[in-house]
Chain A
Amino acid sequence: MNPLYAELQWLPRPPADFAGRLKASGSAAVPAGDALRQLSHFGLDLNQLTKLGKAVARTRAAGDTLAPLTPFRLAILSNATIDLIVPALAATALRHGIALEVIQPSYDQVPQEALTPDSKVNAAKPDAVLFALDYRALPLKLSVGDSDAAMAALHGALGYLKMLRDGIKANCNAVCIFQSFAAPPEPLFGSLDCALPGTLRFLLNEVNRELATMTRAWGDVLFDVASLAETVGLADWHSPQLWNLGKFAFSDELIPLYCDHIARILAALRGKSRKVLVLDLDNTLWGGVIGDDGLEGIALSQGDARGEAYLAVQRMALDLRNRGIVLAVASKNNDNVAREPFLKHPEMLLKLEHIAVFQANWDDKATNLRAIAEELSLGIDSLVFLDDNPVERGLVRKLLPEVAVPELPEDAACYARTLSAAGYFEAVTFAEEDLKRAGFYQDNARRAGLQKQMGGVDAYLESLDMTITFQPFDATGRARITQLINKSNQYNLTTRRYTEPEVAEAEKAPEVFTLQVRLADMFGDNGMISVVICRPSAESVWEIDTWLMSCRVLGRRVEQMVLRQILERARSAGIRKLAGVYKPTPRNQLVVDHYAKLGFSKISEEASGITHWELLVESADPERAPMKVISQGFESVREGSLT
């Protein structure tokens, strides 16, 4: 079974103590509706959904309305057993902001419930009725090869469905949601079942086609189960054992997915579908980092496996825009650098005119998402945020839980599919105006005004469980050190390039202080993310020849921790002063204030823009960041050579 769908992999995995958290939610300080909703934002399995659904029912029975969730009453008519689905559906509806009450009549009473004016369903006056019928509910007689009989069977089946609909409309006037029909994977011929009139496959295809047209004409809703079943595979959807065991229409493993699809439809009926797709840039819309790799270095070409994956994301974003979804950008980059590919890269499918709001700066992403929502005058809950970086995703989920943030797989080739599978943009109606909606936002890729920073970022950083590892240069790290030295452009104070032999020289020179820095966090190991080289320039002075860092770890106060390490080593080597120099380049404007922020004093500035800085080792005490420090492989720099 494809785990993307069976496990709802766009949702984070459930915590190990889910059951415990559910028990504890009753005593939380937040309203019950919110507490239960928080627990629904994971890829829960059937058992977990059942526990959560029962908690919803208990809370409602105790008189709690589950505010601020939107109430919805759904009746389900089915020829199959739905008991395993009902609690799971109530739990899943929480995820979409709905407090769901399910009205469940007795088993297999579909026409009775629809047509009898005072049936349980009609008397309950539900908001909507879901006809969860499977193909066995249709009065279809197979008539292989007989076109006339096939047409009669088709009309009979459609007439039956219309009769059910008319009954509901006359008796309680609820919105009608019809499921399309998944054919069982047991053809009588093979390919001929498709074209030959009167086979089950032929008849179901025709019923589904007509049903789609009719529901649109009636103003009712279609839940395209046929397409869902095809997506996961008919052979996985249908389970003969489960039908025989208890008249279950499809595999229990797909109940969480089925419920999520229904919940999306209910949310769409209540206007809760998302409207905006906010895109990260580096490693989301193209491979690589534009600030470091430049236009020539980012992966975005047809014919290049890596590039194709990102083109697929752009294509999907563009197609979404063409159906009325608004696009925005939130990227940690200088604004002009971020815009370059949109303006100049020949393979970019997305242009600036497609982007309503373009936020490229060094603020945290939560602040930028709020700015985007305000600029568009839309609620923060209209946003979907696509970012390859699990740290950014975690930050936004923590600080802005109303934003939908899909988990993404390791392989970018599956990003577009994962975004689509999550179904954030489900709709139940479509009109001409929808096509133009994206354009109403005057896509001039404007920048929303800079906002006051959101609180909570520091607490989030602490929760990341970071470990920073310091080592001097060594043979093992040499190749990667050389690579970083030569490809870092943005967070690079002096942009001095070294060949590998030159790196080896620095490694071995006893008077040169070198640092290779690694950072790991709860999401994994980021590998080597910073390189420092200090050389004695005068008595008791180290000049910082090289200081560079990967932009991926900006905003985590790595620089402060690196400075603390340099100072510690400087002290034990008897150094009194650190001298820093900033050499401006077209790409490293980002670090013009690097030394100022670290407490260095500016000594001079040249006409070229080169600045010189100084820090006295004795008094310097940069703030600690919440990370564990590992320091290994050091010996006194003065004594002997580093091996």
Chain B
Amino acid sequence: MDESQIYPRLQEVFESVFDDDSIQVNPALSASDVDGWDSLTHIRLLLTVEKAFHVKFSTSEIGKLQNVGDLVGLIKAKT
């Protein structure tokens, strides 16, 4: 999958995980930008991403993610 396919689906994932509808996914977006994006929501987000894109992340891969751009790169590599 390339970015143009990944971002729309990722936008849907964010809408299902977070209560705030105004979040717009972009490469620089990270936990510090979003209310309620704590460690538990982060886990719920990653689990939802795994199911939405039919991929599995390893613990070390998860540990390296800093922002949405990193996440998209990881999804791209696996799809």
Interface positions of B from 1 to 19, Cβ below 8 Å from A = 15-17, 19
Partner of A245, one of B15, B19, B21, B62: B62
> A46-B44, A84-B40, A84-B43 in contact; A54/B59 too (CB < 8 A)?
no
Q: In the assembly, what is the distance between CA of A564 and CA of B12, in Å? A: 48
B16 neighbours in A (Cβ, 8 Å): 19, 47-48
A252 to B17, CA, bound (A): 14
Q: In the bound complex, how far is the Cα of B62 from the Cα of A19, in angstroms?
A: 28
Residues of A near B44 (CB, < 8 A) are 46-47, 50, 84, 252
Contact: A245 with B59, CB < 8 Å?
A: yes
Q: Does A47 contact B17, Cβ atoms closer than 8 Å? A: yes
Kindly state the separation between the CA atoms of A390 and B40 in the bound complex, as whole angstroms.
39
Taken together as a complex, chains A and B put the C-alpha atoms of A245 and B43 apart, in Å, by 8
Interface residues on A, range: 10 to 19
Residues of A contacting B19 with CB < 8 Å? 51, 54
Contact with B along A232-270 (1 / 0, CB 8 A): 000000000100111000001000000000000000000
The answer to the question of B30 belonging to the interface, with a C-beta cut-off of 8 Å to chain A, is no
Instruction: Please tell me if A639 contacts chain B, counting CB pairs below 8 Å.
Output: no
B16, B17, B39 pick with most chain A CB within 10 angstroms:
B16
Tell me how far the C-beta of B6 lies from the nearest C-beta in chain A, rounded to whole angstroms.
19
- The answer to whether the Cβ of A83 comes within 8 Å of any Cβ in the partner chain is yes
Which residues from B are CB-within-8-Å of A244?
A: 59
Report the separation of the CA atoms of residues A252 and B45 in the bound assembly, to the nearest whole angstrom.
12
| Cβ contacts under 8 Å, A81 to chain B | 40
Q: A47 and B59 in contact (CB under 8 A), knowing A19-B16, A83-B40, A84-B43?
A: no
Q: A50 — which chain B residues lie within 8 A by C-beta?
A: 44
Nearest CB on B from A199, distance (A): 29
Q: Which residues of B contact A84 (CB under 8 A)?
A: 40, 43-44
For the complex, give the distance between the alpha carbons of A244 and B47 in Å: 14
Kindly state the separation between the CA atoms of A48 and B44 in the bound complex, as whole angstroms.
12
Q: How far is the CA of A245 from the CA of B45 in the complex (A)?
A: 13
B9 to chain A, nearest CB (A): 14
B59→A241 contact, CB < 8 A: yes
Q: What's the nearest-Cβ distance from chain B to residue A1, in Å?
A: 11
Contact partner of B43 among A48, A51, A246, CB < 8 A? A246
A396-439 Cβ-contact flags toward B at 8 Å (1 or 0): 00000000000000000000000000000000000000000000
**Smallest CB separation, A21 vs chain B (Å):** 14
**Chain B 33-74 interface mask (CB, 8 Å, partner A; 1/0):** 000000110011001100000000001001000000000000
- Enumerate A487-516 residues with CB–CB distance to B below 8 Å: none
Residues on B with C-beta less than 8 A from A54 are 19
Of all chain A residues, the one with the shortest Cβ separation from B63 is: A245
Cβ of B48 and Cβ of A47 under 8 Å apart?
Answer: yes
| Nearest Cβ on chain A to B59's Cβ, whole angstroms | 6
- In angstroms, how far is the closest chain B Cβ from the Cβ of A392? 32
Minimum CB–CB distance for A267 against chain B, Å: 26
Which A207-252 residues have C-beta < 8 A from chain B? 241, 244-246, 252
In the bound complex, CA of A19 to CA of B43 (Å): 21
Determine the chain B residues whose CB is within 8 A of the CB of A46 once the complex forms. Answer: 44, 47
Taking CB as reference atom, which chain A residue is nearest B56?
A241
Find out whether the CB atom of B15 lies under 8 angstroms from the CB atom of A252.
no
Whole-angstrom CA separation of A10 from B15 in the bound complex: 26
User: Which of B15, B39, B47 meets A19, CB within 8 Å?
Assistant: B15
CB distance from A50 to the nearest CB of B (A): 7
Task: Identify the closest chain B residue to A50 (Cβ).
Answer: B44
Chain A residues near B21: list those with CB within 8 A.
19
Note all chain B residues with C-beta closer than 8 A to A246: 39-40, 43
CA distance A245 to B46 in the complex (A): 11
Q: Which residues 75-99 in A have Cβ within 8 Å of B in the complex?
A: 81, 83-84
With CB as the reference atom, state the residue of chain A lying closest to B47: A252
B42, closest chain A residue (CB): A246
Residues of B within 8 A of A51 (CB): 19
B17 CB → nearest A CB, Å: 6
Report the separation of the CA atoms of residues A246 and B40 in the bound assembly, to the nearest whole angstrom: 9
Least CB distance, A290 to chain B, in whole angstroms: 45
Q: Give CA–CA (A48, B18) in the complex, Å.
A: 10
Q: Report A431 CB to chain B, min CB distance, Å.
A: 43
Chain A nearest Cβ from B50, distance in angstroms: 10
Assembly CA distance A83 to B19 (angstroms): 17
Q: How far is the CB of A3 from chain B (nearest CB, A)?
A: 13
Contact with B along A166-197 (1 / 0, CB 8 A): 00000000000000000000000000000000
CB closest chain-B residue, reference A48: B16
Please, which residue of chain A has its CB at the minimum distance from the CB of B45? A47
Q: Which residues of chain B come closer than 8 Å to A48, judged between CB atoms?
A: 16
Question: CA separation between A326 and B16, bound complex, in Å?
Answer: 41
User: How far does the alpha carbon of A81 sit from the alpha carbon of B44 in the complex, in Å?
Assistant: 13
Q: What is the CB-to-nearest-CB distance from A248 to chain B, in angstroms, rounded to a whole number?
A: 8
Q: Which single residue of chain B is at the shortest CB-CB distance from A241?
A: B59
A257 to chain B, nearest CB (A): 16
Chain A residues with Cβ under 8 A from B48's Cβ?
47
A89 to chain B, nearest CB (A): 15
With both chains docked as a complex, state the minimum distance between the C-beta of A240 and any C-beta of chain B, in angstroms.
10
Q: How far is the CB of B10 from chain A (nearest CB, A)?
A: 14
In the complex, A246 Cα to B47 Cα: how many Å? 12
Q: Which of B15, B17, B47, B59 has the most CB of A within 10 A?
A: B47
Chain B residue with Cβ nearest A22: B19
Q: Complex Cα distance A84/B62, Å? A: 18
Within 8 A of B (CB), among A585-608: none
Point out the residues of chain B lying under 8 angstroms from A241, CB to CB. 59
A47 — which chain B residues lie within 8 A by C-beta? 16-17, 44, 48
Residues of B within 8 A of A83 (CB): 40
Task: Give the CA-CA distance A102 to B21 in the complex, in Å.
Answer: 27
Closest to B43 in A: A246
The CA of A50 and the CA of B45, in the complex, are separated in Å by: 12
Query: For residue B47, which residues in chain A have a CB less than 8 angstroms away from its CB?
Result: 46, 252
A81 to B21 alpha-carbon distance, docked (Å): 28
A–B complex contacts, Cβ < 8 Å, 10 sampled: A19-B15, A19-B21, A46-B47, A47-B17, A47-B44, A50-B44, A83-B40, A84-B43, A245-B43, A246-B39
Using A47-B16, A54-B19 as known contacts, list a sample of 13 further A-B pairs with CB atoms less than 8 Å apart, ordered by residue number in A: A19-B16, A19-B21, A46-B44, A47-B17, A47-B44, A48-B16, A81-B40, A84-B40, A84-B44, A241-B59, A244-B59, A246-B40, A252-B44
Residues on A lying within 8 angstroms of B by beta carbon are 19, 46-48, 50-51, 54, 81, 83-84, 241, 244-246, 252
The 7 closest A-B pairs by CB, nearest first: A47-B16, A83-B40, A252-B47, A47-B17, A246-B43, A245-B59, A244-B59
